[in-house]
Amino acid sequence: MTVPPDENPATTVDDLVELDDAGSETQPLEDAENGATLSWARSLPPWSRGLIAFVAYLIAAVAIWAGPIIGDFGTRSVGNGKGDAKIYEWAIGWMHWSLLHRTDPLFTHAVFAPSGTSLAWTSFLPAGGFVMFPVRTLFGSVVATNVLMLLASALAGWAAYLVCVRLTHAFWPSLVGGFLFAYSAYMTGQGHGHLNLILIFPAPLAVYLIIRRVEGSIGQVAFVVLMTLTLATLFLCSTEVFATTTFFGIIAYAIALIAAGRDRGRVFESGALTALAYLFTFIVLSPYLIAAIRNQPPDVIRDPAHASIDLYSFLVPRSFMGGLHLVSPAFTEKWSDRFTSLPIEDAGYISIALVAVLIGFAITERRRKGTWGLLAFVAIVSVAALGPVLHVMGRGSVTMPWTFASGVPLLRNATPQRFPAYSALAIGVIAALWLARAPEKTVVIRWSLVLLGVLLLLPNWAQPNHLPQTVPAFFTSGEYQKVLQPEEIVFAIPKSKGEELLWQDATDFSFRLPQGYLGPVPVAFADEPLSIGLTASQPSAVPPQELVSWLDEHEVTSVVVADVGAGSFAPLLRSAGGHLIYQGDGVSVWRPSDGIWTLVSTP
C-alpha cells in the first residue's frame, strides 16, 4: 500500500522543511539527534519506538491523573466528576445498552420520556462507548470512563509524537513534542471532565497521514481509507472538535501551499485526497449529520465574547496549572481571576519558557520556509482564540477578526477559548524541531528551556479534586426492583445536576427519566422550565400546579428524591398529590395515590 519506488517524490517533507529562502538545501536532520539519543533508541525499529512513546505517555497519564485515586478507580473520577463528567459516564452506559438491545444509539427514550430525544446534538461520544463496551460490561461505567480519560491523554501524546518524529526522525525531541501537546493547557483543562473534547488524537493523526502522503510513503488508496477512518473517529468523538479541526486544517493547508515551493503539487494532491476522504466520511455518517442539523439549537449556546481567552492567558496560568505548584496559584489568581473564561476552559497558557522557545526558533531557524509557516499558524490560532473582542485583564477593548467567523453555521457554537488545542500541536512540533536541530553548543540551553516548558504545563497536585461518583444504595443494591416497575417513568431529584443519569445507569436503564442533564436542553423541551430538572443543591421555587401539569404530561408515576433533599421537597410533592411509599437506602419514593398527580391543599 506504499508508493512504488519509481513513484517516490523527488522532494520529501524533510527536504521541504530544510529549504532556505533561496531554495538551496541545507544539512538534513540526522538521526543521531545531536547526541541526545541513547544508543538503544537508535537501534530500535520505528514501530517499537512508537510503542515505547505510547507506553511513556500512558504511564505519565496514570501517574498524573489517576495516582490520587488508584485505590478507588471504580468509584472516583479521573476528572473532577462534576456536571458534564456525568454525561459521559451515562453516554458510555447508554451505548452499551443500545448495542446489547440493538436499538438506534442516536435516539433514546431513556431520557425526556415518553417521547425521547435525539442525542445527535449532545455531548454523546459513540466512538468511546463502542470501544469501551467490554470494559463497561466487566467493570461498569465509572471504570470505563476513567480508562478512556487516561487513554485520551496517552493517545493525544502518541499521535503528536508521530507527527514530530516524521519531521525530525529524532526520538527524544519527538517524545517531548508529544508531551507538550498531551499536557497543553487545553488537555489539562478539559481533562477535568470533558471526555469528548480530549479525545482529540485523530486530529494529529490526520496531520501525520498528510505528511506521509506528501513525502510519498503511503499510497493514494491507503491514504483515503485511513483518512476516512480518522475523520469518522474524530466526528464520533466530538462534533465540535471535528468542526474546528476542519476549520484550522483548511488554514494549515493554505499555509502549506504557500510554503511548499517546488513540492506544491504533492501538497495540493494531498488536499484533494483529503477532500475525497471528507466526502466518504459525510456519506458514511449522513444519518448522524442529518440528525445533528435537525436538532441543532436555534440560538448560540455560549457567547464567544465571554468564551475567549485573555491576552494575558498566554503567560498567566489558571489555578489548576503551575508545574506541580512551582508557580503558586495564590500568586497567579490575582490576575487570572479577572479573565472572562472559566478556568478549566481557558486553554491559552503556554508559559514564558515556551514563548522563549518560539522566539528562539524564529531566530535560529529563520532561513527555513517551514519556520514561518509553523509560526504563522500559531499566530493565527492565537488571534482566533482571543475571540470577537480583545480582553486585557478582563476588560474588553477592540474588535477582533473572529467577529466575522463566528457567524459561520459550522462555527457559531465553537468556543474560541478551546482553539489553542491546535496551536499546542504546532508548538510541540516547533519544540521537537528546535531540539533536533540544536548545535552542540546550544543543546543544554534548548533542552533546559523546553523541559522547563513541560514542567510549567503540568497540573498542580490534587488537581482535579476527583469527586466520588456515589449512587444511593437503593439503586446499586437492587432494592429499586421491589419499588419501581420496569420502564417506569421516574422523576429523579438528586443532590446535584447529572446524578440522575448515574442513578439510571446503575440500574442498567431499568427506568426512564422525563428529563436528564445532557448539556443544552433539546429544542423540543426548551420551553419547559422543569426540563432542566430539580436538585437539592440548587432548589428552585416551582409552583405546585406547574409541577402537577409537567408530571402528568410526561406520564411520571414516581418521584425519587435523594435524602439530602427529602425535607426540602416533601411539602411540594404533597401539594402535588404525592404520597411517600418508600424511604431508605439514601432515597425517598413518592407516588400519586390514584395514579394521577393532582393539586391538593396542604395545611
User: Rounded to whole angstroms, how far apart are CA atoms 598 and 580?
Assistant: 15
- Three-class DSSP category at 486: coil
The conformation of residue 521, written as its DSSP 8-state character, comes to P
Tell me the pLDDT band of 358, cut-offs 50, 70 and 90. very high
Domain identity same for 423 and 532 = no
One domain, residues 160 and 308: yes
474 and 452 inside one domain: no
Percent of the chain clearing pLDDT 70 (strictly above): 91
CA–CA gap between residue 321 and residue 332 (Å, rounded): 10
The per-residue pLDDT for 23 is 35
| pLDDT of 603 | 58
What pLDDT, on the 0 to 100 scale, is given for residue 464?
A: 65
Asked if residue 511 belongs to a domain, the reply is yes
pLDDT of 215 > 90? The answer is yes
Q: How is residue 426 written as a grid cell?
A: 504546532
Q: How many domains would you assign to the chain?
A: 2
- Does residue 289 sit in the same domain as residue 266? yes
One domain, residues 430 and 377:
yes
Per the listing, cell 425517598 goes with 588
439 and 525 fall within a common domain:
no
First to last CA, the chain: 80
How high is the pLDDT of residue 103? 96
Question: Among 433, 457, 481, where does a domain finish?
Answer: 457
Digit-coded pLDDT (tens) for 143-200: 999 999 999 999 999 999 999 999 999 999 999 999 999 999 999 999 998 999 999 9
Residue 166 maps to a domain? yes
Across the range 285-291, mean pLDDT stands at 93
pLDDT at 17 over 60: no
Domain presence at residue 103:
no
**Mean pLDDT computed over 232-258:** 96
Same domain assignment for residues 341 and 429: yes
Q: 19 pLDDT exceeds 50?
A: no
Q: Please determine, for residue 32, whether its predicted confidence score (pLDDT) is greater than 60.
A: no
Query: pLDDT-derived band of residue 51, with 50, 70 and 90 as boundaries?
Result: very high
Q: Is residue 89 part of a domain?
A: no
pLDDT of residue 361: 98
Angle between helices 141-168 and 84-101 (to 10 degrees): 100
pLDDT tens, position by position, 493-512: 999 999 999 999 999 999 99
The pLDDT of residue 404 is above 90: no
The reply to whether 53 and 201 lie within a common domain is yes
Helix (H) or strand (E) holding 491: strand 490-493
Residues 390 and 342 in one domain: yes
Tell me what pLDDT residue 123 has.
Answer: 85
Per-residue pLDDT, averaged over 315-334, amounts to 80
pLDDT over 60 (residue 37): no
Structural Rg of the chain based on CA atoms: 26
Q: Looking at the structure, do residues 476 and 424 belong to the same domain, yes or no? A: no
Which residue has better confidence, 31 or 123?
123
- This prediction has a pTM of 0.90
Residue 114, in any domain of the structure:
no
List, in sequence order, the alpha helices (H) in 296-419: 329-336, 351-364, 369-385, 402-405
Q: What is the pLDDT of residues 520-543, one digit of tens each?
A: 888 889 889 999 999 998 777 899
Q: How would you classify the pairing of strands 578-584 and 558-562?
A: unpaired
Burial environment of residue 398 by CB neighbours within 10 A (0 to 12, 13 to 18, 19 or more): exposed
Is there a single domain that holds both residue 288 and residue 199? Answer: yes
Mean pLDDT (whole number) for 418-439: 98
Would residue 138 count as lying in a domain? no
Asked if the structure places residue 24 within a domain, the reply is yes
Full domain range(s) for residue 554? 470-603
Q: Quote the pLDDT of residue 11.
A: 38
**CA pair distance 103, 248, nearest whole angstrom:** 35
Query: pLDDT band at 329, cuts 50/70/90?
Result: confident
Of 457, 478, 512, the residue at which a domain comes to its end is: 457
What gap in Å lies between CA 121 and CA 491, rounded to an integer? 23
> Residue 56 has which C-alpha cell?
511513556
**Predicted pLDDT of residue 463:** 60
Q: Does residue 407 have a pLDDT over 90? A: no
pLDDT of 354 above 90? yes
| 418 vs 329: CA distance, rounded Å | 21
Q: What is the pLDDT of residue 15?
A: 43
pLDDT of residue 535: 94
Residue 111 belongs to a domain = no
Q: What is the mean pLDDT of the chain?
A: 89
| pLDDT confidence of residue 206 | 99
* Residue 283 pLDDT class (50, 70, 90 cuts): very high
Q: Could you tell me if 549 and 434 lie in one domain?
A: no
Distance CA 600, CA 314 (A): 59
* 573: amino acid identity, one letter: L
Split at pLDDT 50, 70, 90, the class of 25 is very low
Residue 302 confidence (pLDDT) = 77
Q: Is the pLDDT reported for residue 433 higher than 80?
A: yes
Is 5 a residue whose pLDDT tops 50?
no
Domain boundary residue, one of 411, 436, 457: 457
| pLDDT tens figures, 265-282 | 999 999 999 999 999 999
Residue pointed to by grid coordinates 465574547: 305
Q: What is the mean pLDDT of residues 344-373?
A: 95
Average pLDDT over residues 421-444: 97
Reply yes or no on whether the pLDDT at 474 is more than 70: yes
